[in-house]
Homo-oligomer: A and B are copies of this chain.
Amino acid sequence: MISAIVLAAGQATRFGECKQLVRLGGKTLLEHALAGVRGAKIDDVVVVLGANAEEILERIAFRETVVINPDFAGGMSTSIQAGLRAAKGDAALIVLGDQPFVASATLDALIDEYRRTKARVIIPTYRGLRGNPVLVDRSLFAEMMNIRGDVGCRAIFGDHADSIVNVPVEDRGVVVDIDTAEDLVGTSKAL
């Protein structure tokens, strides 16, 4: 079974409002990310909330498991860990809630590669740039529990360079995330 952990706990200090709920077209940023996950061959989805959790729960009807991370201010690593603990799968896609444009087909391509190669880490690349989401095998979860601060799973990849498979994709969405209101404007125009 493959899990997806959708990270949407951040307080987005560079953004200035509740980033997860910013609208882009007819949906919020987080709903865009969720739509990609819901369309893929994923059996278990854990959404991690933190900052503004009550507001987000009022506005979005989740049918996924939701975990509210009380330690979100301790950085992204704490939210990844809260999600990993709740995940049921043999592997987990670490999905960024502020990446609205990743296609379901891209997620499926990562999962297919995992099933074929059993590689412990699968990373999508767009024109040579490494992107997200990253798929991580359960055998690395224990190590990911030791990451501290505002860093993601890349913190442990240096120790597992031989276990990484890059999957080139034609989906620019894997390298687009929304950090500022300006990103949002630029992205809307570009896509």
Q: Which residues of A contact B (CB under 8 A)?
A: 53-54, 57-58, 62-70, 82, 85-88
User: How far in angstroms is the closest Cβ of chain B from A68?
Assistant: 4
Q: Across the interface, do A58 and B54 meet the contact criterion of CB distance under 8 Å?
A: yes
Q: Is the CB of A86 within 8 A of B70?
A: no
Do A85 and B87 touch across chains, with their CB atoms under 8 A apart? yes
Residue of B nearest to A53 (CB): B57
- Identify A88's interface contact among B53, B58, B63, B85, CB under 8 A: B85
Classify the secondary structure of A's interface with B: mixed
A67 touches B65 (CB 8 A): yes
CA distance A125 to B86 in the complex (A): 31
B-chain residues with CB within 8 Å of residue A66 when the two chains form the complex: 53, 66-68, 70
A88 proximity list for chain B (CB < 8 A): 85
Are A62 and B58 CB-contacts (below 8 A) given A85-B86, A86-B85, A87-B85? no
Chain B residues, Cβ within 8 Å of A87: 85
The 8 closest A-B pairs by CB, nearest first: A66-B68, A86-B86, A85-B86, A54-B57, A67-B67, A63-B70, A65-B70, A54-B58
Q: How many angstroms from the CA of A67 to the CA of B82 in the assembled complex? A: 10
In whole Å, how far is A2's beta carbon from the nearest beta carbon of chain B? Answer: 16
- What separation, in Å, do the CA atoms of A85 and B86 have in the docked complex? 5
Cα A66 to Cα B82 in complex, Å, equals 10
